[in-house]
Amino acid sequence: MDARRFATALAVLTAVCGPGRRARAEQPTEVPATPAAPQATPAASPAATRAEARQRFDEGLHLFEKGENAAALAEFKRAYELIPNVLVLFNIGLVYAAMDRPVDAVDALDKVLDSPAGLAPAQAQKARQVRADQAARIAEVMVFTDKPAVIEVDGVEVGRTPLERPLRFASGAHVLSALAPGCLPARREITLAGRTTQTLTLTLLPTESSNAHLTLVVPVPGVEVLVNGQRAGVTPLPTSVAVAPGAAVIELRRPGYRDAKRTIQVDEGSNGTLTFDLEEDPATPASLKGRLRVTPSEAAATVSVDGVLRPDAPDGVPLVAGPHALRVERAGFVVFERQVDVGAGAETSLVASLVPTAETRAATDDKVHDRHVWGGSLIAAGVAIAGGAAIFAYATRHDVSDAEAVLAAQIKDEGTATTSTTTCYLQNPNYAYNQCPQIKAADQDAVSSAKVKRDIAYGGIGLGAVVAGVGTYLLVTGKRASEGGGLSASSFGIWADGQTNGLTFGGRF
């Protein structure tokens, strides 16, 4: 995690969870569903509000770590709505800065610096520094039109003329458009430097017909779009493009790809969709290409780049340098989508972390529940087996020594010359008559039987320990999907071959 992300995580953690807590130490608490209208909506309890705020923070931090800043911002904003706090707002400003949205970052940090009482000195200094850096990247444009019009920048509506104040943009190239009913769209491409102010006047030419709106579907990002020779923006376009009725020439350009051009006839007030499939230019030199190596977190996931399915390539996928649309998907997981920049002559590596869907999480939690049941059962069974074996071992602890003592006395007295009738001797004339061989064999069997009992007792203690250990392992590693974890596959069983037996356990992480 870089310094910016660390600051974001630390500040949000402090704001939502309170000093001295760790976000992942507490699990999110489910908030009761809101009753449907016309029933009155009960006010959420403070505990439920805090629980949802912690849950929003945890999800936002997870998304931010994956680089999905837009989704993370939505979660952080919801946490701020639940618990308005200067530290949370401070982190929202940092996320805006990471998303290359200096205007929004400055607005958020201005509010923070207006009331910095909840900030630590280091955080206040960080807010001032980031705010200054982002303000240096903002330019202002005052737009005038000869008639009231909607002003769009890069396809997004930003205001209506007459404007009360200049529009603020991030420095760089932008396409500014003015749209008004009964007039042809007026577009102007402008390049803005930070901390500068420009004035732009647009004249809208009247037309007797209504504009058509054309939606362009282009899988490849970073493609320049021209409509009738005028630059309309760069893919992906956020909205449709307004086109005057009649013949319209659509051109697409990007280095490393063949130019695409199409002439269409559009009707007054119509809406249409136009799809382009760009082809890579085979004449593109290798110096303008790079490689993209994608590693999905889940096996059997499919990888698509710019809408084209890419087979598993151990050495990476060769691509034209620049932005590309990556899509990684697998059944049961949320689709992973990201725009990645491939450097010329370099290899770009990315780990696609797939998040399970709600259904998959529920199924995983059911399996984890079964693991917990198995784990608890195995622990109980292991303790019972080991305890019973220990009791048996204690009860028969003297059997081996007693049986060996009797047999040793028998063997010692075999060479002694005496006429005793209670002990069998080799030199006793009544040795066979007194069944001395049978008595000695019985003593030897008694020793063997005692040793078998001892081995069974020790084996039972060991088996019980193994069974209880497996049960403990299942409980410790059996985390629910919402807790981040666990095994993705596991198995255990008992084997026996007539002479030996034991337990087997395996898993895939």
Q: pLDDT tens digits, the chain, 509 residues: what are they? A: 444 444 444 444 444 444 333 333 333 333 333 334 444 445 567 888 888 888 787 777 777 777 778 878 888 888 889 888 888 888 899 889 888 899 999 999 999 999 888 888 998 999 999 999 999 999 999 999 998 999 988 878 889 999 999 999 899 888 898 988 878 888 888 888 989 999 999 988 877 567 888 999 999 999 999 998 888 888 888 888 888 888 999 999 999 999 999 999 988 888 889 999 899 999 999 889 999 999 898 888 999 999 888 876 677 889 999 999 999 999 988 888 888 889 898 998 888 888 888 787 777 777 788 888 888 888 999 899 988 888 988 888 788 788 778 777 777 665 554 544 445 544 455 555 455 667 778 878 888 888 888 888 888 888 989 998 898 888 887 765 545 443 344 444 444 444 444 444 444 43
Rounded to whole angstroms, the Cα distance separating 152 from 230 reads 15
pLDDT of residue 185: 85
pLDDT of residue 323: 92
pLDDT of residue 303: 92
Helix axes 121-135, 102-114, angle to 10 degrees: 140
Q: What are phi and psi of 364, to 5 degrees?
A: -65, -40
Rounded to whole angstroms, the Cα distance separating 340 from 271 reads 31
Helix, strand, coil percentages in the chain from 3-state DSSP, rounded to 5:
40, 30, 35
Q: What angle do CA 237, 240, 246 make, to 5 degrees?
A: 125
Q: Are 172 and 102 in contact (CB under 8 A)?
A: no
Extract the tokens encoding 195.
Answer: 């901390």
pLDDT of residue 256: 93
Rounded to whole angstroms, the Cα distance separating 165 from 152 reads 15
Rounded to whole angstroms, the Cα distance separating 50 from 73 reads 18
Enumerate residues 6+ apart whose C-beta is below 8 A from 109. Answer: 90, 93, 127, 130, 131, 134
CA distances, 482 to each of 7, 67, 189, 321, 485 (Å): 25, 20, 48, 38, 8
Rounded to whole angstroms, the Cα distance separating 228 from 261 reads 11
Beta strands in 245-346 (DSSP E): 246-253, 260-266, 271-275, 289-296, 302-305, 308-310, 317-320, 322-329, 336-342
pLDDT of residue 416: 56
Rounded to whole angstroms, the Cα distance separating 254 from 386 reads 73
pLDDT of residue 220: 93
Rounded to whole angstroms, the Cα distance separating 178 from 188 reads 9
pLDDT of residue 264: 92
